[in-house]
Structure 1
Amino acid sequence: MRVLLSTYGTRGDVEPLVALAVQLRALGAEVRMCTPPDEEFADRLAGLGIPAVPVGPPIRALMGGPTPPSAAELSRYRTELLDAQFDVLPSAADGCDALVAAGLAQIAARSVAEAAGIGYVYVTYSAVNLPSPHHAPPPRPGWAEPADVGNETRWDLDARLVDAQFREPLNGHRAALGLAPVTNVRDHVYSDRPWLAADPVLGPWPDGQDLQVVQTGAWTTVDERPLPAELVAFLAAGPPPVYVGFGSISPAPGIARWAVEVSRANGYRVLVSRGWADLDLVDGQDDCFAIGDVNHQRLFRELAAVIHHGGAGTTQTAARAGVPQVVVPLRVADNPYWAGQVAALEVGAALDGSTATYESLTTAFETALAPETRERAKTLGAEIRTDGAAAAAHLLLHTLR
């Protein structure tokens, strides 16, 4: 069996597919992956011996500019990415038995699979990305969010916005492949049986939905990397610190600095993860330590709390570690959803990054560090599954056979 895995996004988009790739290869399948051309992804896949196929512009350059891209720039990026996928995916899928596409950015994937006559699976990492009357669509950069309307109306508008961006160019490419046009691009990409790679306790799919969703559990790998010696020494030099990090997101102004100040004001040492924003908040005092890319699975078990942006991977790792969380997301993708899940499960606290203040962050911190929150976080950690990628790999190969 040969499988092509394809995504476009940050590390949080790529790593779950890496986990699936590892499990598929353990079952004897051959795997190749389409990712952004960033060096860190190429190095990651090369280290595992997984053939990498670069598609689209570097994501770090897109995410890391001094200002967010404008709506017009995002529209151009999306169209260019669609064209790039149709240029690259057909040859990448040559000889494959299935194509697994992660994320709505994979507009071309189903058409490529259809033209090649191979299996197609769409996967998302958060329930909020799939249409349901129980939640609104996630915020999509560059597209307006309607106010004072119900969830079903919001999802209808979401479909129209996706169509306005993609239907004409998608159908142009489909015609060139001899395929019939599609009328609803979003639902076409999702298919009638999407997969949800999220933990059923932490991020369940609501019961009683029309959409037939296959929830496999989150796709994760076991990280065996040791922690750097300097970090181990810092951890050993005092009580458990608070982690402050925002991954590939630049936090709202003031949030990271406030997080450090609030932690200190409550008597906690601080670990600052530089992330893609290259946070520089270490002021020379010995109670604050800066880190780069380290093993979160090992680190989070040693912490008092995790303050972060609400990425699916960070939320999952913190939950598995049984550590309280303070989630301060911007209105980007599924980050607000995971903030809401942490608050609803009472294993931490959540704020809106755009409206948060020092005072509200202080209150959220105190809620997260309360003894009862700590106990709930510990209990939840024992319930989080770790077999999602293995289950998905078995299911995929069983389906193909």
Structure 2
Amino acid sequence: MRVLLSTYGTRGDVEPLVALAVRLQALDVQVRMCVPPDEEFARRLESLGIPVVPAGPPVRELMRGPTPPSAGELSRYRDELVAAQFGILPTAAEGCDALVAAGLGQIAARSVAEAAGLQYVYVSYSAVNLPSPHHAPPPRTGWPEPPVSDHRTLWEMDAHNVNTQFAEALNHHRASMGLPPVDNVRDHVYSGRPWLAADPVLGPCPETPGFDVVQTGAWTLPDERPLPAELVAFLDAGAPPVYVGFGSMRPSPDIGHTAVEAIRAQGRRILVSRGWADLELVDERDDVFAMGEVNHQRLFARVAAVVHHGGAGTTLTAARAGVPQVVIPLPVSDNPYWAGRVADLDVGVALLGPAPTVESLSVAFDTALAPETQARARALGARLRTDGATVAAARLVGALR
């Protein structure tokens, strides 16, 4: 039995599929993964014995530019990605029984599976990506923000925007493969039975008319890597610090300085994760420690709170560790959604709107570090599941057999 897993994005997009791949391998399934060509993804997969099929332009190159890409640049980038997928996925899928695609950017995946007669599974990591009258679509970078607030109208406009970007190219390729055209690209990619790889407590699935959603739980793996000795020494030297990190996102340039100042005002020590944004230290005082990529599962168990951008993976890891969160979401993708979930569950604070100031962050920390918030965060952590990837792997294998 062979399965092709395909996604395009940052580490937060790739790691859940890595977890599924490992669980499938444990069931004697041969797996290969189609991911961006960035070197860190290749190293990660090769270390697990997972064959890598690179597709599309490097992600880090896009995320680390001095200025955000323009709408025109993003449109060309998306067109390039679709062309790369139709050029690479058919060969990558040869000999496979199923194709699992994560993310709306996987425009070619269902057509490739259809042409080859493979089982197709679309997976989302956040419920906000699935059309529902209970929430608006997530912000899509480079596309216009609609001047309405009705959820149904917003989803209709979202489908129109996706069609405008992708329909012509998708249907051109489908015609060349002998497949009929589609009139709703977004719902075509999602399929009628999408999977939701999110924890049912942290990110429950609302009503989604027209879709039979399968919620498996979040796809993660235990991380057994030790923390660097220098970091352990810093942690051991005083009270639990507050973690600040924005992963692969590019926050406002002064956010690191603002956060450090606000945390110091609380009398707390600080951990700064440089991330893809290369956050800089304010100074060299001994109450702050800068670090690169480390094991968040081990680290978050030793911090007082986590300040982050609202990525699905970071939100989940902090929640499982039972620590409060202060989320400063960028207005992209599912970041605002996860910020809202942290606020709704009362395990932290969501700072939406203008860039945070020392004053607004100080108020947020007063709430996040309060004993009652800490108690709710610990209680939530005990309720979250850890078997989502195992459930998904068993479900897929069962369907194929």
What residue ranges of structure 2 are gaps of 5+ in the alignment? none
Instruction: Indicate conservation of the 8 Å contact 1:328/1:353, yes or no.
Output: no
Moved over 3 A (4+): 207-210
The match for 1:25 is 25
User: What are the superposed Cα offsets for residues 287-314 of structure 1, whole Å, 9 maximum, x if unpaired?
Assistant: 0000101000000000000000000000
TM-score when scaled to structure 1? Answer: 0.99
- What CA distance in whole angstroms lies between the structure 2 residues aligned with 1:344 and 1:242? 22
The match for 2:153 is 153
Q: Supply the AA of the counterpart residue of 1:233.
A: A
Deviation at 1:353, TM superposition (A): 5.7
Q: Supply the AA of the counterpart residue of 1:394.
A: A
Distance 1:216 1:168, change over 3 A: same
SS at match of 1:302: coil
User: What are the superposed Cα offsets for residues 325-364 of structure 1, whole Å, 9 maximum, x if unpaired?
Assistant: 0000110100000000000000000112644222211111
Deviation at 1:400, TM superposition (A): 1.0
The match for 1:178 is 178
User: What are the superposed Cα offsets for residues 105-163 of structure 1, whole Å, 9 maximum, x if unpaired?
Assistant: 00000000000000000001000000001110000000111133301100000000000
The match for 1:326 is 326
Q: Supply the AA of the counterpart residue of 2:264.
A: R
The match for 2:74 is 74
- What CA distance in whole angstroms lies between the structure 2 residues aligned with 1:90 and 1:353? 43
The match for 2:38 is 38
The match for 1:346 is 346
The match for 1:196 is 196
- Superposed, 1:1-400 pairs within 5 Å as 1-207=1-207, 209-352=209-352, 354-400=354-400
- What CA distance in whole angstroms lies between the structure 2 residues aligned with 1:116 and 1:6? 16
SS at match of 1:160: helix
TM-score when scaled to structure 2? Answer: 0.99
Instruction: Indicate conservation of the 8 Å contact 1:242/1:269, yes or no.
Output: yes
Instruction: Indicate conservation of the 8 Å contact 1:244/1:308, yes or no.
Output: yes
Deviation at 1:213, TM superposition (A): 0.6
SS at match of 1:121: strand
- What CA distance in whole angstroms lies between the structure 2 residues aligned with 1:206 and 1:369? 30
Deviation at 1:209, TM superposition (A): 4.4
Deviation at 1:228, TM superposition (A): 0.3
SS at match of 1:243: strand
Q: Supply the AA of the counterpart residue of 1:217.
A: G
Q: Supply the AA of the counterpart residue of 2:349.
A: A
Deviation at 1:284, TM superposition (A): 1.0
- 281-290 or 249-258, which deviates more: 249-258
- 276-285 or 180-189, which deviates more: 276-285
User: What are the superposed Cα offsets for residues 58-108 of structure 1, whole Å, 9 maximum, x if unpaired?
Assistant: 000011100011000000010110000000000000000000000000000
SS at match of 2:136: coil
- What CA distance in whole angstroms lies between the structure 1 residues aligned with 2:363 and 2:209? 36
Instruction: Indicate conservation of the 8 Å contact 1:252/1:353, yes or no.
Output: no
Aligned length: 401
- What CA distance in whole angstroms lies between the structure 1 residues aligned with 2:262 and 2:354? 18
Q: Supply the AA of the counterpart residue of 2:358.
A: Y
Deviation at 1:178, TM superposition (A): 0.4
Instruction: Indicate conservation of the 8 Å contact 2:257/2:282, yes or no.
Output: no
SS at match of 2:301: helix
- What CA distance in whole angstroms lies between the structure 2 residues aligned with 1:266 and 1:357? 14
Instruction: Indicate conservation of the 8 Å contact 1:8/1:106, yes or no.
Output: yes
Share of identical aligned residues, percent? 72
- What CA distance in whole angstroms lies between the structure 1 residues aligned with 2:330 and 2:381? 25
- What CA distance in whole angstroms lies between the structure 1 residues aligned with 2:10 and 2:180? 32
Instruction: Indicate conservation of the 8 Å contact 2:90/2:112, yes or no.
Output: yes
Q: Supply the AA of the counterpart residue of 1:50.
A: I
Instruction: Indicate conservation of the 8 Å contact 1:251/1:353, yes or no.
Output: no
SS at match of 1:272: strand
Q: Supply the AA of the counterpart residue of 2:129.
A: N
Deviation at 1:366, TM superposition (A): 1.0
Q: Supply the AA of the counterpart residue of 2:35.
A: T
User: What are the superposed Cα offsets for residues 176-228 of structure 1, whole Å, 9 maximum, x if unpaired?
Assistant: 00000000000000000000000000000014744211000000011010000
Instruction: Indicate conservation of the 8 Å contact 2:148/2:154, yes or no.
Output: no
SS at match of 2:83: helix
Instruction: Indicate conservation of the 8 Å contact 2:243/2:273, yes or no.
Output: yes
